[in-house]
Amino acid sequence: MKKTKIGFVSLGCCKNLMDTEVMLSELNAAGYEITGEETEADIIILNTCGFIQEAKTEAIDNILDIAWLKTNAKLKGLIVCGCLVQRYGEEIMKEMPEVDAVVSVGAIHDIVEAVKKVEAGEKFKALKAPEEAAMGGDRIVTTPEHFAYLKIAEGCDNRCTYCAIPDIRGKFRSRTIEDIVEEAKNMEALGIRELILVAQDTTRYGVDIYGEYKLDELIRAVTEATSIPWIRILYCYPDKITDGLCREFRENERLVKYIDIPVQHINDTILRRMNRHGGKEVIVSAIKKLREACPEIVIRSTVIVGFPGETEEQFAELMDFLAETKFDRLGAFEYSCEEGTPAAEFDGQIDDDVKAERYDAVMSQQNGIMEEANSRRIGRREIVIVEGYDPVSETYFCRSQSEAPEIDGKVYLTGAPKNSFSVGDMVDVTITEAMDCDLIAVLSQF
């Protein structure tokens, strides 16, 4: 009997991607054939993001694009899941006849049942609270063969006033250290060379099940139980930079000297209106503590410009802080007024053109800071991980510890003959040139 072919489109963040990987694994185990060709698929599963307007628009556009395949190709069914469904599952089923089934974040383990219903020509809804979804489980890793993300916890309790994620992903819930170490060993068995530990707030790890922050202990457990060369952590929170975590950065050679720590702003009034835990002092001392513990650490951060009520003076304070702190990497977002969040009701909403001006100011200042940081690396020897070879430019594209996948630049290794290296190889190079957010390197001479 011909197997039903399932296609997947995964939108949003790496945490959403891991839900896709779990659903892929369950469908595969149930005997379905997974195809990468949308036009070949009988049923397509669209895993959506839905935390800001831009993401919602992207999800709706994808639904309409995929629905086109139902009339113009052989697609029989469209299943929509993920964060947009967690927020608007009922509305999607009511207002979008193109959609055959909706599966919320809390119901990802009902994906096989959803496919069976759609195969039978039925409409189907699985709308469960986010906490109902068991965490972990087998997954089909879809990131390139040399790195993988590992979700150490789900949900968030921080309740930043601009953010819908706690309502989408539910309360903060840590997986046990044993469960995570088991998964890390599975990743090692797949040949993963870089393991990236993530959560909505990675630094909150453990407090709900162990009564204290245990990210440092988790990192140590993963490094002791595996020999994965690079362990990286993303999405940290400034008020939870513990001494233990700093010790790991100082002493643990396989913990990548890189931290992603969104600060969002620096003005105390704005931080209070954002309900960010810890004010300016906490942020400044967290950065100082990290740099003292590990002088070579690369710090990535994120800020929001145009938050309701942000005055010129408060924005100038942010610009001064960024100029002084010199984050190695920085992302900026224009405040997005999200329905259902407290900040959406705040007075002092800022005009879009003012938000755009402030965004441009932050990013042009940051480009200068980043170029300076990159040019300081010229002449330095660094270990890079090979990600692939570009036959046109005859270069290997790589990353050092200073570049996280999918968000930062690349290190281009020139002058090394084709077939010298494979994806995942660690190579000793010397930086020769800086180009915007990318770098050029040659093989180090010993």
Q: Which of 32, 204, 18, 1 is nearest to 118 (CA)?
A: 32
Alpha helices in 136-275 (DSSP H): 165-169, 177-189, 207-210, 215-225, 243-251, 268-273
Question: Is the Cβ of residue 21 or residue 201 nearer to ligand SF4 in the bound state?
Answer: 201
Question: Is the Cβ of residue 275 or residue 314 nearer to ligand SF4 in the bound state?
Answer: 275
Instruction: Tell me phi and psi for residue 232, to 5 degrees.
Output: -120, 145
Query: Min. distance of Cβ 402 from ligand SF4 in angstroms?
Result: 24
In whole angstroms, give the CA distance from residue 315 to residue 311.
Answer: 6
Question: Is the Cβ of residue 141 or residue 304 nearer to ligand SF4 in the bound state?
Answer: 304
The neighbouring-strand residues paired with 195 are 148, 231
In whole angstroms, give the CA distance from residue 152 to residue 197.
Answer: 6
In whole angstroms, give the CA distance from residue 107 to residue 125.
Answer: 10
Query: Min. distance of Cβ 266 from ligand SF4 in angstroms?
Result: 16
Question: Is the Cβ of residue 193 or residue 204 nearer to ligand SF4 in the bound state?
Answer: 204
Q: Which of 308, 307, 275, 13 is nearest to 159 (CA)?
A: 275
Question: Is the Cβ of residue 165 or residue 332 nearer to ligand SF4 in the bound state?
Answer: 165
Question: Is the Cβ of residue 278 or residue 309 nearer to ligand SF4 in the bound state?
Answer: 278
Query: Min. distance of Cβ 24 from ligand SF4 in angstroms?
Result: 25
Rg (CA), the chain: 23
Query: Min. distance of Cβ 201 from ligand SF4 in angstroms?
Result: 5
Question: Is the Cβ of residue 35 or residue 158 nearer to ligand SF4 in the bound state?
Answer: 158
Query: Min. distance of Cβ 200 from ligand SF4 in angstroms?
Result: 4
In whole angstroms, give the CA distance from residue 194 to residue 393.
Answer: 26
Query: Min. distance of Cβ 353 from ligand SF4 in angstroms?
Result: 25
Catalog residues that contact ligand SF4 under the rule CB under 6 A.
156, 158-160, 163, 165-166, 200-201
In whole angstroms, give the CA distance from residue 358 to residue 134.
Answer: 42
Query: Min. distance of Cβ 274 from ligand SF4 in angstroms?
Result: 8
